[in-house]
Structure 1
Amino acid sequence: MNDEKLLQIFESLNEVAGKYSKPPEKSDELLDAILEMTKEMLKDYKNYREQLENYSLTLESHLEELSRTYEELYALFTVTQILTKHMDPYEALEEFLNALVNAIPSKSAGVYLLKDDERILRTLRDDEIWKPLEKFLEESMIKDMKNVIISEKKDEPVEGIENFLCVPVLSGEKLWGYIVMFNKVDGAFYTAGDRKILESAATQLAFSIRNYEYLKERIERERLKEQLTIAKDIQQGLLPKSFPRNEYFEVFAKTIPTIFVGGDYYDVVELKNGDYLFVMADVSGKGIPAALLMSSLRSVLRAWSDSLRSLGEFVQRLNRVIYRDTPDDRFITMMSLILKPKERKLVLCNAGHDPVILVEPNSMIENITSVGIPLGIFDEAEYEEREFNLKPGNMLVLYTDGIVEARNPTGEEYGFERLEDLLVKIREFDSESVVNRIIKNVKDFSASAPQHDDMTVMVIKVK
């Protein structure tokens, strides 16, 4: 090869390499330079090829990761669609499990849910393996609700399971149950990607169950509130809607239940002979049970009031009915009065209730009562009746223990002394004003402390 040809090769290699160097003058030196440049270019090519192969492997890895991410997102999208189209997630469990098996091909899958004291197991197949597997979940898994298990055959929890994947259904610290899959197809093992798909599905299921249970609870609360409102209206309808006001006396009463309905009861009944029956009663307990017993007492009392001859015997008859028809842990305290307005005489019969407070015109206070145990405790109980003479300006105050036992934020009771001091100060007001001032004073005393018992007051003022 002549020098001119070698020079052309040298210049071409220089151009490809992107650099310029002066060619040697001697032929053998020029040939050596060409060989050296060729070696460098081959080395650069080899490095470039290795880089290209590395880039190719990285790209394949990214594509695989992207594919797994797509599978996870698609599986999550599918289960989300399934759960959102069902208001009740418990009805969607079979469809939910089918979607998971499509995403992670397995012999079987199931959801084991904890619902209050109930255990719910939904599976795709009625496989005998599920019976011992359910026992395993109950005995082993629930102890550690954050446990996630991926097992190989050597770790099988139940005979017949070659590999096993289980993740908790959690929302916060609340454990709703577990999603279980076992025996992945083709003998393959469950991967971290499989676990990630199942964890995402479990999160979505927990979210759906939590929202459903919250919604159901809220609906139940609203329904109960509506029923209690109706019950309150019914109970208020059983109490006197108006009070007699004549030339002999005036009366007013009010009750403030702890909750919607309560067990306090008061009544004013005009008898056939022109006398008046006044009743103040307190049923043990609170809420619906107490309200039902109060309603029963009112029905019997109203039905029998026309035949009332002796107040003591009347209360004794009431006691027998209450004893016969109520549970052993229920009783009623009751103060009964008969006012003979023209004679200004008062007949009193007490069944374990707080005394009547009698306020004299000169501000003297006397607690008047009689002997008798609460209604419903002993069927043969006898009840004493006592008679008192009244005079113009007398004020009679009947109340339930929710008044005197009301507490302030420090735990101090309102008490009898505070009530009596207040009555002396407000005795000149009419009966309605006295009742309202008593209740306001008790509420002001209690301040932010919760009301623990029904509060009821009746005031009778003799003219």
Structure 2
Amino acid sequence: MPDSNPLNLEIQSLRKQLLRKQQELSALLEITQSINLDMTEEALYKIFQFTVTGQLQIRRIVLYMREERTWRCVISSFGHQLADFRKLALPDEIIDSCEEGPCPMRGLPLGAEWQKLETIIPVKNKDEVVGYLLIGSVQEDYANEEASKFLETLSNILVGAIENRRLNRQRISAAAMRKEIEIAQEVQNLLFPSKLPNDAQVAVHASYVPHTAIGGDYYDVVSIDKDRFLFCVADVSGKGVPASLLMSNFQAGLRTLLRQNVDLATIVHELNHLLFRNSGGEKFITVFFGIYNRATRHLQYVNAGHNDPILVPDSGPIQYLKEGTVMLGIMEKLPMLTVGETQMPPHSLLLSYTDGLTEVFDEAGAEYGEEGLIRLMTRNRYLPLSALHKEMLREIEDFSATKNQFADDITILSCRFK
């Protein structure tokens, strides 16, 4: 027969309360020790599951956590032949009905797989619901209200630790990215020439306006001997660190080939092979190469899929330097290659650029384009090169609907042949 003595009943109740507190304390210690061991998120979820089911004897628990804009089930403790909630989406009925505190599942219009759960506990981080803990088959002596309050506290501790881990990973990742960008910027700055030719035969000037912290444009001017120098303007597919690394390989290959005193056709073929080998055809470079001889006023060039440089003579029609090949790096062997040749008339101006200079749009969607660039060059062909570049950048900024927020990198390399 059950003991009906009031004193004995009170002692039994106190013993049960003490046992529950001991169980809760053990659960809390297990969770906090696991957090202090700096375990992974998945390991913390596992320990939380085993602690709740083992120490608190709550047989069924399901935990959904919000990740980005979706809800993911991270704990599903059901056994064989029962629903795997990892494969089920969190119903809107649960999200809409329970935000402030523990709520009963009873009465919600949900499928049969949800009927074995009894209570919904919203889990918060900084007053925002970031998870839902669903429990069922709570031991008879462990009242739902008490279980809910403690589980809410335990869940908040768990979620707070996991959020701190995520924030810490984000901080580490952001710091690593900043360092990576700094290194890439330094590499890119080292790629550009520190000195440009400016003598009695020729003047060269360059301007570079990156769209992002690390742009995808490149230019170079390299002396070959006392009479000849090579100049080039290139646009690398992609942006950021990968583009910077590809440019670095490109420049290293170009400088090596120039030291070997090979001809322009060989330079182009070898650089194409280098780029294809490094990127497997997934990245490419459009580039214009020119080799100018001061003594003969002769220009050899190759246009590899790049914007046609514009030659404005002192008199006569404008010329476009089109001869060359396809962009470099998309195929192992170039299908064709033509080395263009032309003479540079006295007082002529040659402009090489990347498409960020012309692909600028006004509020009506009209493009500045090559036509706008030619009109500007015709009006200002005798300006000093630095002033000419400033005028170009000022005009496209005035033309652009986004003003100085250009959609792409801008590189300008101009040569005046005296």
* TM-score interval, normalised by the smaller of the two chains: 0.7 to 0.9
366-375 or 142-151, larger mean C-alpha shift: 142-151
Normalising by structure 1, we get a TM-score of: 0.67
Cα distance, 1:375 vs structure 2 = 1.3
Cα distance, 1:421 vs structure 2 = 1.6
Secondary structure of the 2:144 match is coil
Cα distance, 1:461 vs structure 2 = 1.1
- The amino acid that maps onto 1:462 is F
For 2:377 and 2:111, how far apart are their aligned partners in 1?
79
From 405, 409, 416, the counterpart of 1:454 = 409
Aligned to 2:8: none
Cα distance, 1:332 vs structure 2 = 1.6
Q: Deviations over 1:112-168 (max 9, x none)?
A: 354469967469xxxx7467777136426355551556368xx99779x98633324
Cα distance, 1:277 vs structure 2 = 0.6
From 245, 254, 264, the counterpart of 1:292 = 245
- Is it true that 1:139 corresponds to 2:88 in the alignment? yes
For 1:413 and 1:310, how far apart are their aligned partners in 2?
38
TM alignment of 1:254-265, pairs within 5 A? 254-265=207-218
From 401, 406, 427, the counterpart of 2:360 = 406
Cα distance, 1:370 vs structure 2 = 0.9
Cα distance, 1:189 vs structure 2 = 5.5
TM alignment of 1:131-170, pairs within 5 A? 135-136=84-85, 138-139=87-88, 141=90, 144-146=93-95, 150=104, 164-169=118-123
- The amino acid that maps onto 1:136 is F
Cα pair 1:163 1:189 within 8 Å, conserved: no
Cα distance, 1:221 vs structure 2 = 2.7
For 2:216 and 2:116, how far apart are their aligned partners in 1?
63
- Is it true that 1:282 corresponds to 2:282 in the alignment? no
Secondary structure of the 1:141 match is coil
Aligned to 1:183: 137
Q: Deviations over 1:20-47 (max 9, x none)?
A: xxxxxxxxxxxxxxxxxxxxxxxxxxxx
TM alignment of 1:238-277, pairs within 5 A? 238-272=191-225, 274-277=227-230
Cα pair 2:323 2:338 within 8 Å, conserved: yes
Cα pair 2:359 2:367 within 8 Å, conserved: yes
Secondary structure of the 1:186 match is coil
Cα pair 2:64 2:73 within 8 Å, conserved: yes
Cα pair 1:338 1:348 within 8 Å, conserved: yes
Q: Deviations over 1:380-433 (max 9, x none)?
A: 422111221113311111001111112334433221111112222332232233
Distance 1:171 1:302, change over 3 A: same
Secondary structure of the 2:389 match is helix
For 1:213 and 1:409, how far apart are their aligned partners in 2?
42
- Is it true that 1:397 corresponds to 2:347 in the alignment? no
**Unaligned stretches of 5+ in structure 1?**
1-70
Q: Deviations over 1:164-214 (max 9, x none)?
A: 3332436699874432444333356524x7556655766676666556645
Cα pair 2:73 2:86 within 8 Å, conserved: no
- Is it true that 1:112 corresponds to 2:67 in the alignment? no
- The amino acid that maps onto 1:296 is N
Distance 1:322 1:100, change over 3 A: closer
- The amino acid that maps onto 2:412 is V
Aligned to 2:328: 375
Q: Deviations over 1:296-347 (max 9, x none)?
A: 2111111101234432333123223323332333222111111001221111
Aligned to 2:341: 387
- The amino acid that maps onto 2:90 is M
Cα distance, 1:446 vs structure 2 = 2.3
For 1:377 and 1:137, how far apart are their aligned partners in 2?
43
- Is it true that 1:330 corresponds to 2:283 in the alignment? yes
- The amino acid that maps onto 2:387 is S
- Is it true that 1:434 corresponds to 2:413 in the alignment? no
For 1:173 and 1:344, how far apart are their aligned partners in 2?
74
Cα distance, 1:243 vs structure 2 = 1.1
Cα pair 2:214 2:240 within 8 Å, conserved: yes
379-388 or 359-368, larger mean C-alpha shift: 359-368
Secondary structure of the 1:418 match is helix
Cα distance, 1:349 vs structure 2 = 1.4
Distance 1:133 1:274, change over 3 A: farther
Cα pair 1:334 1:352 within 8 Å, conserved: yes
TM alignment of 1:2-81, pairs within 5 A? none
Cα pair 2:117 2:136 within 8 Å, conserved: yes
Q: Percent identity?
A: 26
128-137 or 321-330, larger mean C-alpha shift: 128-137
Distance 1:373 1:408, change over 3 A: same
For 1:316 and 1:240, how far apart are their aligned partners in 2?
23
Residue correspondences, number: 378
Cα distance, 1:363 vs structure 2 = 8.3
Cα distance, 1:110 vs structure 2 = 5.4
- The amino acid that maps onto 1:454 is D
For 2:328 and 2:127, how far apart are their aligned partners in 1?
49
For 2:89 and 2:349, how far apart are their aligned partners in 1?
71
For 2:368 and 2:39, how far apart are their aligned partners in 1?
50
From 173, 178, 181, the counterpart of 1:228 = 181
435-444 or 200-209, larger mean C-alpha shift: 200-209
Cα pair 2:61 2:136 within 8 Å, conserved: no
**Unaligned stretches of 5+ in structure 2?**
1-20
For 1:163 and 1:120, how far apart are their aligned partners in 2?
15
For 2:178 and 2:213, how far apart are their aligned partners in 1?
9
Distance 1:143 1:220, change over 3 A: same
From 308, 312, 320, the counterpart of 1:355 = 308
Distance 1:407 1:177, change over 3 A: same
For 1:162 and 1:352, how far apart are their aligned partners in 2?
66
Cα pair 1:263 1:293 within 8 Å, conserved: no
- The amino acid that maps onto 1:261 is I
